[in-house]
Amino acid sequence: MNRFVDVLIVGSGVSGLYCGLNLRDDLNILIVCKDKLNCSNTYLAQGGISMAKGIDDIPLFVSDTLKAGKYENDLEAVNVLAAESVYNINNLIEMGLEFDRNEDGSLNFTKEGAHSISRIVHTKDNTGESTAKILIEKIKQKDNIHVYEDTFFVDIIEKDNKCIGAILIKENEQINVYAKTVVLATGGIGGLFNNSTNQKILTGDGIATAIKHNIELKDVNYIQIHPTAFYEEGRNERRFLISESLRGEGGILTNINSKRFVNELLPRDVVSKAVYEQIKETETPYVYLDIRFLGEDYIKNRFSTIYEECLRRGTNITKEYIKVSPAQHFFMGGIKVNINSQTSMKNLYAVGETSCTGIHGANRLASNSLLEGLVFSRRAAHLINSTVDKQEIEVSTVEQLNKSIEEMVYENRNLVTGVIQEWGGKLDDQLLSCR
């Protein structure tokens, strides 16, 4: 079966959905996702979204991002991120997203690790879910945007180093989608790990595609470990994230002997290393995070999702320590793109965690992930809007697939893990699952 569209977007996280919403209403757009529309890492994001607090804060925001990234960031991309942050947050507000506010109506900013000031907007502790719901609602209102859920992305269709479409499988049927432009928003690599805060379906499909087609990659050796995921003995499912915003509000990390061992607001890689050292020293697979002193009412209101999820797992965080340990959280590397999200292949864009804009360097600054998805997917959409009319849909012969989805997933896993290791990625053996 063949299908023809103007723009194909693979992925339904913040970057894929926001890209679609910023495309022209006269374009025929198809969004495909491996599971349901809400099954993305965006939906899981708790802490918030960074934004510059006015023009005067832009240099400091840039400085904080560079410092966290060990100055291996792309400076041009970081400047774009900071400069365009306010516009995109205001755009979400205009869409109807209700960020938490102070009594005077001003935005309530919180602080997270490696930020010099409080500049993170949030909706309690479920900012990603709130953002995703607004974007999904808007997508469903668009007559020109169609959605395929439960659809497996196999590969792009290439012709003379130009992307002309993609191969999909839906309900065991192969669908060859031909498009003027393709946008990969396929997410990160958390599904490759035993311990990850990510959705298990995220296995680096976009990265595998880039490897197959010699599309340029960048920084694939940089994988972020989050220091505080809820510890559950013997659990082999997605780890529940304990947001950095708890530490931003004053949460304290101690070892099992109640000894504080680190400045909780240092960059994530530093805090994770300190946690690992305590785990080794005390021969206990977790440390404690204490926020009890914040008060029951405040905790239940500000961190309602975390409170309820921890309670469901047997821990009342208003009265007890939270057992936490590190888990894979974010992929700083990916498909190399410019500030308009263009890859090294013509008519192919990459946005969100599958892309590498260079803003994160060696370590992502807290709450820059959703912002990156917003800023650079909008830039991609604007460039597509101005160039898509010059493109024509092309068709190429595509062979019928003779492999199962399971076989293709296995091959992709091996491709991605192999390339990360070739690049010298420092993968903790307890975290990485090479299947």
Residue 428 lies in a domain: no
User: Is 92 found in the same domain as 213?
Assistant: yes
User: Is 191 found in the same domain as 322?
Assistant: no
User: Is 218 found in the same domain as 231?
Assistant: no
- pLDDT at position 421 is 85
Residue 289 lies in a domain: yes
Amino acid at 350: A
Q: Which of 307, 328, 349 is the last residue of a domain?
A: 328
User: Is 363 found in the same domain as 233?
Assistant: no
Residues 253-279: what's their mean pLDDT? 94
Instruction: Tell me if residue 268 is catalytic.
Output: yes
Amino acid at 411: E
User: Is 283 found in the same domain as 353?
Assistant: no
Catalytic residue among 119, 239, 247, 268: 268
User: Is 147 found in the same domain as 42?
Assistant: yes
Residue 427: pLDDT band (50, 70, 90) is: low
- pLDDT at position 235 is 66
Q: Which of 277, 295, 328 is the last residue of a domain?
A: 328
- pLDDT at position 429 is 38
Number of domains in the chain: 2
- pLDDT at position 370 is 97
Residue 415 lies in a domain: yes
User: Is 242 found in the same domain as 357?
Assistant: no
Q: Which of 305, 328, 351 is the last residue of a domain?
A: 328
SS3 per residue for the chain: CEEEEEEEEECCCHHHHHHHHHCCCCCCEEEECCCCCCCCHHHHCCCCEECCCCHHHHHHHHHHHHHHCCCCCCHHHHHHHHHCHHHHHHHHHHHCCCCCECCCCCECCECCCCCCCCCEECCCCCHHHHHHHHHHHHHHCCCCEEEECCEEEEEEEECCCEEEEEEEEECCEEEEEEEEEEEECCCCCHHHECCECCCCCCCCHHHHHHHHCCCCEECCCCEEEEEEEECCCCCCCCCCECCCHHHHCCCEEECCCCCECCCCCCCHHHHHHHHHHHHHHHCCCCEEEECHHHCHHHHHHHCHHHHHHHHHCCCCCCCCCEEEEEEEEEECCEEECCCCCECCCECEEECHHHEECCCCCCCCCCCCHHHHHHHHHHHHHHHHHHHHHHCCCCCCCCCCCCCCHHHHHHHHHHHHHHHHHHCCCCCCCCCECCC
- pLDDT at position 177 is 98
Domain that holds residue 254: 227-328
Residue 431 lies in a domain: no
Residue 430 lies in a domain: no
Tell me, what CATH number does 314's domain have? 3.90.700.10
Tell me, what CATH number does 59's domain have? 3.50.50.60
Q: What is the pLDDT of residues 75-97, one digit of tens each?
A: 999 999 999 999 999 999 999 99
Residue 432 lies in a domain: no
Q: Please return the burial class of 64, using the count of CB atoms within 10 Å of its CB with bins 0-12, 13-18 and 19+.
A: buried
User: Is 168 found in the same domain as 76?
Assistant: yes
User: Is 383 found in the same domain as 246?
Assistant: no
Residue 435 lies in a domain: no
- pLDDT at position 397 is 87
User: Is 267 found in the same domain as 208?
Assistant: no
Question: pTM of the prediction?
Answer: 0.94
Q: What is the pLDDT of residues 324-378, one digit of tens each?
A: 999 999 999 999 999 999 999 999 999 999 999 999 999 999 999 999 999 999 9
Residue 167 lies in a domain: yes
User: Is 360 found in the same domain as 304?
Assistant: no
User: Is 285 found in the same domain as 409?
Assistant: no
